[in-house]
Amino acid sequence: MVSRVFLLFVTARVAAFGVVLGFSPTLVPSSQSYSSWIPPSTQKSKELGTSQHSIAGKLSAKSSHENDEQDDTNHVGGRAVNRRDVMVKGAASFAAATVAWGGEMGGTEHASGLWVPKSVHAATTTTTTTPTEPRVVVPTTKLGSLTVSRTIQGYWQLAGGHGKYKETDAIDNMNAHYNAGMTTLDTADIYGPSELIVGTFVKKKQPKAVPCTKFCCFRYLEEIDKTEVRNRIQKSCERLQVSKLPLVQFFWGNYDVKRYVDVALMLTELKEEGLIGEIGATNFDLPRLQEMKKAGVPIVSNQVQLSALDRRPVQSGMAEWCAENGVGLIAFGTVGSGILSERYLRQPPPTPEQKDTASMRMYSNTAARFGSWKLVQELLETLDIIAASVRFSGRCADATISNVAQRYILETRGVSAILIGVRNQNHIAENVRTHAFQLNADEREAIDAIVAKRDGPKGDVWDIERGNI
């Protein structure tokens, strides 16, 4: 079997070749603002191509400073050739050459034309496929006694703020994602008709689906008692058409009203009665999570915003604590409503017209807190090069920036699952594909190096949103 070092060598040579030819990524000039930058077709840049923290520098045995003043586009034989052309064609040629070694090195030729190690074939024996990639399954994990898919369907989008939809279309979306292996669905008692629609899907289409909901407390916190808690949980059971809620994720709106432990213990009593399967939390910070655990609340999960753009669950120490205390993080916002995708690579930030959903408005704010748009572009460039490395190594023939961004979170210690917001069926194959490969240490370190340059978001989980910062 070919070693990871060998595969890295292939990618490193291709990356180094691009650097030697002077193909540096197009970045936002430091003199231009986050909102006003427009990417030029050719722009001189030094920051990423020669940076000791760039992925090319990380995977290459040497770096080049000789061509710092080269344009992003070189002209060879009268034809424009950019950095991606060099990387793609160089790696593809090398991969094609290695096909002949397949038997000796323990691999075979894949339909894409790339050499694929045996280990890739051995790990891909499941249900979802496209014509250009191996068969992939969405794995499952445990939250306490509950089995959930590691990619969870999210239905905040049914609450409004994401355009009009038909209930029948929403149910068709649920069914298509379920059949692709995303067997767990996330909703909440405050998401308008979301619980009702999810309940109809579970009852009529997929009785084995796992509907997870939330118990959200925003107002009249001093007055919540056992009767209210029971009534609200029973109402969620009715809307979801189940006798027991598989997972109830608890949210508390104001820490100054210190009754969250009391109410969490009321939920615990209903778990002991059999109305609730498992208890989770939503957007709790680490001190309150620890406080509830210490009081005897059997919390098995905490749903939080976590991505390469938002590191609060990691920087607060929550992820590590969760890993050591049997609490699985469910991460939402892993691709930032598409900001971490090819759509925004070498493009200006989202315009007001593009911020046409509640999700895009929220994650645009996250990206702005992360740092300048120049830094976001540096992150996107790094994810893009890693995606190319994944494709060329045979780990995943169609890996994208979003796949790499999701894997970065799935491989974070303490993370049990990621949550994707569902509005249509356009990204099913791509979301399944995230589970077709793993990142290696050098690739993770390259992302870490960019993320380490961030300005924010600062604080613990949901501190900014609660007005604590």
CA diameter of the chain? 79
**Can you tell me which residue has the tokens 């959903």?**
357
Residues 238, 244 contacting (CB under 8 angstroms): no
| 421/144 Cα distance (integer angstroms) | 24
Tokens, residue 116: 């694929």
Residues 418, 62 contacting (CB under 8 angstroms): no
Q: CB 99: neighbour CB atoms within 10 A? A: 15
- Reading the chain (469 residues) residue by residue, the pLDDT tens digits are 444 434 444 444 444 334 333 333 333 333 333 333 444 333 433 343 433 344 555 544 333 333 333 333 333 333 333 444 434 444 444 444 343 333 333 444 333 333 333 333 333 323 344 445 458 999 999 999 999 999 999 999 999 999 899 999 999 999 999 999 999 999 999 999 999 999 999 999 999 999 999 999 999 999 999 999 999 999 999 999 999 999 999 999 999 999 999 999 999 999 999 999 999 999 999 999 999 999 999 999 999 999 999 999 999 999 999 999 999 999 999 999 999 999 999 999 999 999 999 999 999 999 999 999 999 999 999 999 999 999 999 999 999 999 999 999 999 999 999 999 999 999 999 999 999 999 999 999 999 999 999 999 999 999 999 999 9
Give the residues across from 141 on adjacent strands.
Answer: 148
Helix or strand (DSSP H, E) at 140: strand 140-143
Q: Are strands 210-217 and 128-130 parallel, antiparallel or unpaired?
A: unpaired
| 181/192 Cα distance (integer angstroms) | 26
Q: How big is the CA angle at 45 (ends 40 and 50), to the nearest 5 degrees?
A: 145
In 3D space, the residue among 462, 459, 449 whose CA is nearest the CA of residue 375 turns out to be 449
Q: Are strands 133-136 and 140-143 parallel, antiparallel or unpaired?
A: unpaired
Tokens, residue 40: 């030029």
Classify residue 343 by its DSSP letter. G
Tokens, residue 320: 């590590």
| 65/6 Cα distance (integer angstroms) | 26
The pLDDT, as a whole number, for residue 121 is: 33
Would you call 15 helix, strand, or coil by DSSP? Answer: helix
The pLDDT, as a whole number, for residue 83 is: 44
Q: Alpha helices of 274-372 — where are they, by DSSP H?
A: 286-294, 312-315, 318-324, 358-370
| Amino acid letter, residue 447 | I
Residues 309, 366 contacting (CB under 8 angstroms): yes
Asked, as a colleague might, if the bond just before 457 is cis with ω within 30 of 0, I would say yes
In 3D space, the residue among 321, 192, 189 whose CA is nearest the CA of residue 251 turns out to be 189
φ, ψ at 246 (rounded to 5°): -60, -45
| 318/405 Cα distance (integer angstroms) | 20
Q: Alpha helices of 356-456 — where are they, by DSSP H?
A: 358-370, 373-392, 401-410, 428-433, 441-451
| 363/343 Cα distance (integer angstroms) | 15
| 249/97 Cα distance (integer angstroms) | 52
CA 88 to chain CA mean position, Å: 25
Q: CB 468: neighbour CB atoms within 10 A? A: 11
| 123/105 Cα distance (integer angstroms) | 17
